[in-house]
Amino acid sequence: MKVPLWYSLWSFPAPYEGNEPAYVDEKDMACSKAFTAQFDAIQKEVRTFLTKRETTPYFNQSMVLHGKGYHTLSLAWWGIQFHKNQRELPVLSSILKDHSELLTLSINVLDANSRILPHMGDTNAIYRGHFGISIPSTVPQAGIRVKEAEQSWKEGHFVWFMDAYPHETWNHTGQARIVLLVDVLRPEFSNQKKRICATVMTSLFLQKRIEKYAFFQRNQRWIVNYLAPILIPIVQFRIAWINFTRKY
Domains and CATH numbers, the chain: 11-189 (2.60.120.330), 191-245 (no CATH)
Closest CA to 175 of 247, 113, 101: 113
- What does the pLDDT average to over 98-109? 96
Q: Give the model's confidence band at 1: pLDDT under 50 very low, under 70 low, under 90 confident, else very high.
A: low
Task: Kindly report the backbone phi and psi dihedral angles of residue 69, in degrees, each rounded to the nearest multiple of 5, phi listed first.
Answer: 115, 0
Beta bridge partners of 134: 178
In sequence order, what are the residues at sequence separation of 6 or more whose Cβ sits closer than 8 angstroms to the Cβ of residue 38? 91, 95
- Amino acid 103: pLDDT: 97
Alpha helices in the chain (DSSP H): 8-11, 32-36, 39-52, 83-88, 90-98, 193-212, 214-218, 220-245
**Residues 3 and 196 sit within 8 Å (Cβ to Cβ):** no
- Amino acid 11: pLDDT: 87
First-last CA distance in the chain:
40
Nearest-angstrom CA–CA distance, 54 and 35? 23
The pLDDT tens digits of the residues spanning 174-209 come to 999 999 999 999 999 999 999 999 999 999 988 887
- Amino acid 101: pLDDT: 96
- Amino acid 66: pLDDT: 80
